[in-house]
């Protein structure tokens, strides 16, 4: 926690401190989680991620997007603009707008400084042990065991339901500004609900971090209903580039096997 050492209780964490902290955490996460190294996949992921991040109030951050090589459905954000999305999200997305909605939600957490606010509230010396292993099966693999307690620091913030709702709303707005159909978000939630009913274990980590009640679908649909229909119709639902990206993700060798 060098980045925020010396911070006194009640003081805010500056953007510079947040970025430094995020960079340190990202370095550790990247060393410990299986990150997809395919150049074409990473290029597409970063172009899409930047197109969403650059329409937010934090376009000035240097955003980074990584794909974690696991089939579990999950994604997470580190402070300062480091976004991780599991391979399983891309494989489950039927269309660009569904995949983009998960990135948009995680970008929303960073834009709203959710994890930074948590750290500020934790005050000084006691910062940093809210550790939730969002990537359960990967973390349990031993391959990434250390990822759970990256030197005892908080890497994965645990967000409240209000934070999740705010990130959803921010995500819908980002998608519209970036020219992507926000209906991908409730569509993705519905897909997850359907999958939870048929194969509950595959989504265990996602539902631990993102309590997904029908309310979230209703809230996002409600927000979308206030958007001018002519604008909505002009937004992109899918592209050939996304189809190519997903095909390339699906063609990767199987992810490292997790031992539960
Ligand atoms: Zn979230």
How does DSSP assign the chain, residue by residue?
-GGGTTPPTTPPPPHHHHHHHHHHHHHHHHHHS-B---HHHHHHHHHHHHHHHTTSTTTTS--EEEEES-SS--EEEETTTEEEEEHHHHHH-SSHHHHHHHHHHHHHHHHTTHHHHHHHHH-GGG-------TTHHHHTTSTTHHHHTGGG---S----HHHHHHHHHHHHHHHHHTTB-TTHHHHHHHHHHHHHHH-GGGGHHHHHHS---HHHHHHHHHHHHTS-HHHHHHSB---HHHHHHHHHHHHSPPPPPP--
75 alpha carbon – ligand 1 mean position (Å): 8
167 alpha carbon – ligand 1 mean position (Å): 6
pLDDT tens per residue across all 260 residues of the chain: 444 444 444 457 889 989 998 998 898 889 888 999 999 999 999 999 999 999 999 999 999 999 999 988 888 899 999 999 999 999 999 999 999 999 999 999 999 998 888 777 765 434 433 333 333 333 333 333 333 333 333 445 578 888 989 999 999 999 999 999 999 999 999 988 888 777 766 666 655 555 566 888 999 999 999 999 999 999 999 999 999 999 999 999 999 875 44
123 alpha carbon – ligand 1 mean position (Å): 23
159 alpha carbon – ligand 1 mean position (Å): 7
259 alpha carbon – ligand 1 mean position (Å): 26
What is the structure's pLDDT at 159? 80
128 alpha carbon – ligand 1 mean position (Å): 18
206 alpha carbon – ligand 1 mean position (Å): 9
| Max intra-chain CA distance, the chain | 52
Predicted TM-score of the model (pTM): 0.83
14 alpha carbon – ligand 1 mean position (Å): 22
200 alpha carbon – ligand 1 mean position (Å): 19
161 alpha carbon – ligand 1 mean position (Å): 9
> Edge-to-edge strand order for the sheet containing 64-68?
64-68, 82-86, 75-78
Q: How far apart are CA 185 and CA 66, in angstroms?
A: 20
74 alpha carbon – ligand 1 mean position (Å): 9
Burial of 19 (0-12, 13-18, 19+ CB in 10 A): middle
Q: How far apart are CA 137 and CA 144, in angstroms?
A: 9
Strands 64-68 and 75-78: unpaired
């Amino acid at each position: 926690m060098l980045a925020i050492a010396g911070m006194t209780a009640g003081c805010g964490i500056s953007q510079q401190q947040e970025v430094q902290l995020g960079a340190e955490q990202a370095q550790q996460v990247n060393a410990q989680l299986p990150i997809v190294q395919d150049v074409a996949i990473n290029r597409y992921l970063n172009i899409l991620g930047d197109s969403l991040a650059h329409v937010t109030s934090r376009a000035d951050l240097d955003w980074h997007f990584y794909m974690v090589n696991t089939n579990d459905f999950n994604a997470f954000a580190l402070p300062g603009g480091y976004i991780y999305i599991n391979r399983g999200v891309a494989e489950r997305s039927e269309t660009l707008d569904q995949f983009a909605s998960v990135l948009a939600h995680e970008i929303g957490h960073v834009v709203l400084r959710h994890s930074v606010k948590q750290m500020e509230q934790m005050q000084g010396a006691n910062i940093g042990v809210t550790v939730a292993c969002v990537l359960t099966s990967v973390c349990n693999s031993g391959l990434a065991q250390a990822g759970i307690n990256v030197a005892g620091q908080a890497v994965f913030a645990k967000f409240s339901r209000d934070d999740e709702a705010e990130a959803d709303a921010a995500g819908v707005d980002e998608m519209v500004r970036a020219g992507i159909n926000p209906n991908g978000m409730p569509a993705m939630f519905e897909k997850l609900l359907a999958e939870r009913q048929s194969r509950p274990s595959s989504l265990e980590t996602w539902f631990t971090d993102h309590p997904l009640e029908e309310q979230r679908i209703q809230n996002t649909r409600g927000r979308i209903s206030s958007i001018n229909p002519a604008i909505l119709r002009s937004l992109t639902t899918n592209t050939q580039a996304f189809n190519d990206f997903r095909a390339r993700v699906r063609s990767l060798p199987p992810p490292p096997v997790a031992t539960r």
